Structure 1
């Protein structure tokens, strides 16, 4: 990958810049680009990868397949997110599947160069540690939210978290996600998701368009979540 392309990705994403701003030149030269089409499986549960990746374009879901054969979406990757950071050091098998929701571009770095980068670059070392700790925090928080909050509140909260990654249009902010993806995200039936989205649409908060959810009123979406929590 050319240095100009690397600089472009760093300038387009604060997360990528924060991670790579002190990356040594000998490490910068080793990055390679890999492209995937929407719907492709990037990595499968149980795979052992010999590279560390950063998502520089697109969106991908992280999921596991339960014993009942159902898919459960655990989280979603966006631009600037690390992939394989939990497994790369000890070459552990992937604990999840990673599937492209949109077309995806990854920057990949071989394990030996990743370990050298971790050793040479104090900035990245600290960034890496903070990211691992935040990931653990988010997992525990999600488990708590699943027990404490209703599905309605969790869907509203999810849509609010997606806003920074949405596409601004005249009618509102467009989030690329459909009902099936949301049912996987929350491990519930599509019917349950459809009921909540229909309520939000009736209130004029969102609109639905095939594989898109259009947020028409972000302020009202926030108030919807706050009002229900205050009544709880």
Structure 2
């Protein structure tokens, strides 16, 4: 695993953070499937995603969990919460093994307050996230369930051919459909030879066909 300074250099951040902030950073590693934090948890850290892939979801007023996006490096987790000084507004989980740089809010408040370069950095990342969020919410309203299911399967298996022990109820909630509709789509995919369900697992047999079905991997 690279030292912190090497990660900062890799992603062009070496000149953004002063030495005192870099000294406060720690490297966190999370295994596949780990939930980093849940919607409503206290936010006192900013996270810089430097390795791996994570899933961001939100809980609707009706109690349904909906996917907002999948993120790969480089990205920031907790920037909106840092600016607003509010609890985490989304749930974040590891799709693959993750490496993140953890930065305490206290260090940022003490060292970066009034730093124009850092403020511009936050503005650009937050603006991009609001655009992405709007696009993903529209996607769940406008695209057929077949497209959403294909994209979900691809997004959840970036470096492996199998989705282990998925909960179909949770999957249905995440992509904004019913359990019955999801099951019908999975049966259709299986009959087409694109996937195979076996002992609670889903094997992806034809990623190209799923990519064609998705049109483009909209959750990315």
- For the criterion TM > 0.5, the same-fold answer is yes
**Normalising by the residue count of structure 1, what TM-score does the alignment of the two structures yield?**
0.69
Displacement of 1:145 in angstroms is 2.1
Say whether residues 1:72 and 2:66 are aligned partners.
yes
Q: Which runs of 4+ in 1 moved over 6 A?
A: none
Q: 1:95 to 1:25 in 2, by over 3 A?
A: closer
- Relative contact order (alpha carbons < 8 A, sep ≥ 6): 1 or 2 greater? 2
Give runs of aligned pairs for residues 28-177 of structure 1, distance below 5 A: 28-36=22-30, 40-101=34-95, 103-115=97-109, 116-117=111-112, 120=115, 122=117, 125-159=119-153, 162=155, 166-167=158-159, 173=161
1:201-230 deviations in Å (ceiling 9; x for gaps): 322334446455525242x3343345xxxx
Q: 1:80 to 1:221 in 2, by over 3 A?
A: same
DSSP 3-state at the match of 1:87: helix
1:32-77 deviations in Å (ceiling 9; x for gaps): 1234455554223323322111234454443344455443343334
Say whether residues 1:20 and 2:48 are aligned partners.
no
Aligned residues: 211
Structure-1 separation of matches of 2:34 and 2:153: 24
Among 190, 195, 218, the alignment partner of 2:184 is 195
Say whether residues 1:5 and 2:3 are aligned partners.
yes
Q: Is there any run of 5+ residues in structure 2 with no aligned partner, and where?
A: 216-220
8 Å Cα contact 2:49-2:101 kept in structure 1: yes
Q: Is there any run of 5+ residues in structure 1 with no aligned partner, and where?
A: 12-16, 227-232
Q: Give the stretch that moved more between structures: 30-39 or 136-145.
A: 30-39
Structure-1 separation of matches of 2:191 and 2:15: 50
Number of the residue aligned with 2:166: 178
**Normalising by the residue count of structure 2, what TM-score does the alignment of the two structures yield?**
0.72
Displacement of 1:178 in angstroms is 2.8
Among 193, 198, 214, the alignment partner of 2:204 is 214
DSSP 3-state at the match of 1:62: strand
Structure-1 separation of matches of 2:15 and 2:206: 40
Q: 1:47 to 1:157 in 2, by over 3 A?
A: closer
Structure-1 separation of matches of 2:22 and 2:56: 27
Pairwise CA RMSD: 3.6
8 Å Cα contact 1:178-1:213 kept in structure 2: no
Structure-2 separation of matches of 1:108 and 1:81: 13
